């Protein structure tokens, strides 16, 4: 039961995050939505029993790529000036009365109950299967990386080192000869 709930929540997070990335106009918000989508994909890997892929997803993509993108956007000032409409909207204070909060809460309650009832009806048609024994993937992947696939592992590390050195050379400022 827990695995099914985790799968459904992870799938919803991955799809909703991806859709928000596509429809977002602000690049910083798109990065945050991409972060949510990648966390959802890591949850999907967990429900499939691929714990090594889930950890790699979190460390490499969520921990590395998204943070790198956020730093690059912040350092380059990667945004544009807000339009006149956005400037006007930023000056308007947040509005809401108790009536709007109650109505929005009731709408959210009805929506969540409707979606819950829909999921219950969909899940009723499925039959349960015997569970396979859980086998971790980290031990087997680690053993394969240092025995059978050590050459590919070392070649990929040299390739990544070359990419890092190349990025450092490209990023360093140009110095003209003779000028101080």
pLDDT tens string 114-134: 777 777 777 777 777 776 676
Q: Is 39 among the domain residues?
A: yes
Cβ 30 vs Cβ 21: under 8 Å: yes
The domain total for the chain is 1
- Please indicate, yes or no, whether the overall pTM of this predicted structure exceeds 0.85: no
In a domain, 118, yes or no: no
Find the domain containing 16 and state its range: 1-79
Q: pLDDT tens-digit profile of 58-114? A: 888 888 877 777 777 777 765 556 666 666 656 655 666 676 677 777 777 777 777
Would you say residue 104 lies in a domain?
no
Chain mean pLDDT for the chain: 78
Q: What is the C-alpha to C-alpha distance for residues 155 and 55, in angstroms, rounded to an integer?
A: 22
* Residue 69, in any domain of the structure: yes
**In the block, residue with structure tokens 């991806």:** 18
User: Does residue 75 lie within any of the structural domains?
Assistant: yes
Q: What is the Cα–Cα distance from 34 to 11, expressed in whole angstroms?
A: 14
pLDDT of amino acid 95: 61
Has residue 177 been placed in a domain?
Answer: no
Helix (H) or strand (E) segment spanning residue 112: helix 98-124
| 8: CATH | 1.20.120.1200
Q: Is residue 123 part of a domain?
A: no
Cβ atoms < 10 Å from Cβ of 80: 9
What stretch of H or E contains 85? Answer: helix 84-91
Q: Given this model, what pLDDT does residue 15 score?
A: 92
Sign of dihedral through CA atoms 172, 59, 38, 140? positive
pLDDT at 8 over 60: yes
* Inside any domain, residue 17: yes
What distance separates the 2 farthest-apart alpha carbons in the chain?
78
């Amino acid at each position: 039961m827990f695995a099914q709930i985790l799968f459904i929540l992870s799938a919803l997070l991955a799809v909703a995050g991806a859709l928000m990335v596509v429809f977002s106009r602000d690049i910083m918000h798109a990065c945050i939505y991409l972060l949510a989508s990648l966390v959802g994909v890591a949850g999907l890997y967990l429900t499939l029993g691929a714990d090594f892929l889930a950890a790699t997803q979190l460390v490499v993509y969520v921990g590395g790529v998204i943070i790198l993108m956020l730093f690059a956007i912040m350092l380059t000032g990667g945004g544009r000036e807000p339009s006149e409409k956005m400037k006007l909207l930023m000056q308007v204070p947040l509005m809401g009365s108790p009536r709007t909060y109650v109505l929005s809460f009731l709408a959210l309650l009805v929506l969540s109950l409707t979606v819950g009832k829909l999921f219950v009806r969909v899940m009723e048609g499925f039959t349960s299967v015997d569970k396979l024994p859980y086998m971790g993937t980290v031990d087997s992947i680690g053993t394969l990386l240092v025995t059978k696939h050590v050459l590919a592992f070392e070649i990929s590390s040299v390739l990544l080192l070359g990419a890092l050195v190349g990025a450092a050379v490209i990023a360093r400022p140009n110095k003209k000869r003779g000028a101080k």
